[in-house]
């Protein structure tokens, strides 16, 4: 069994995946647009370039993504992506990159459980938690 997060964006899924490819390494394994599906004829023309489904795979990270429906109301989701590493430099690099154009909600700092921890909402509205274990 494998559980993979599925992240919904609002028309900027491809830009987000390209950003994550740069941040994490890895690749966009597949990307299907609305125009590539049998449903294309029933969809408004302005939605034909939206991402219907994509898969992102990189070292230690795997998730699926798509653009949600146009006009779909999105409220604060009840999920955060959690990253764990024992490499201080790599953890700080990723946190800094995710912060670019985003909002640091909790700066990286030493915590009582013996790790450095911080939280950021990236420029695409995705919440990330970074836990850097001390060796």
Q: What is the pTM of this model?
A: 0.83
Query: Each residue of 40-57: pLDDT tens digit?
Result: 777 777 778 899 899 999
- In the chain, ranges of CATH 3.10.180.10 domains: 6-67, 81-133
Q: What is the DSSP string of 58-100?
A: ETTEEEEEEE--TT------S--EEEEES-HHHHHHHHHHHHT
The pLDDT score that the predictor gives to residue 77 is 61
Domain 6-67 bears CATH identifier 3.10.180.10:
yes
Q: Domain 81-133 falls in which CATH fold?
A: 2,3-Dihydroxybiphenyl 1,2-Dioxygenase; domain 1 (3.10.180)
Query: Each residue of 119-134: pLDDT tens digit?
Result: 999 999 999 999 999 8
**Distance in angstroms (rounded) separating the CA atoms of residues 108 and 120:** 9
């Amino acid at each position: 069994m494998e559980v993979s997060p599925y992240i919904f964006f609002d028309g900027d899924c491809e830009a987000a995946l390209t950003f994550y490819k740069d941040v994490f390494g890895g690749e966009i394994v597949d990307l299907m647009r609305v125009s590539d599906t049998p449903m294309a004829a029933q969809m408004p023309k302005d939605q034909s370039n939206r991402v219907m489904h994509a898969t992102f795979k990189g070292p230690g990270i795997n998730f699926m993504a798509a653009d949600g429906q146009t006009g779909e109301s999105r409220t604060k989701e009840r999920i955060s992506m959690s990253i764990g590493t024992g490499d201080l430099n790599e953890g700080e690099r990723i946190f800094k990159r995710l912060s670019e154009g985003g909002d640091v909600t909790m700066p990286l700092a030493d915590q009582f459980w013996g790790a450095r921890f911080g939280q950021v909402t990236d420029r695409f509205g995705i919440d990330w938690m970074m836990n850097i274990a001390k060796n």
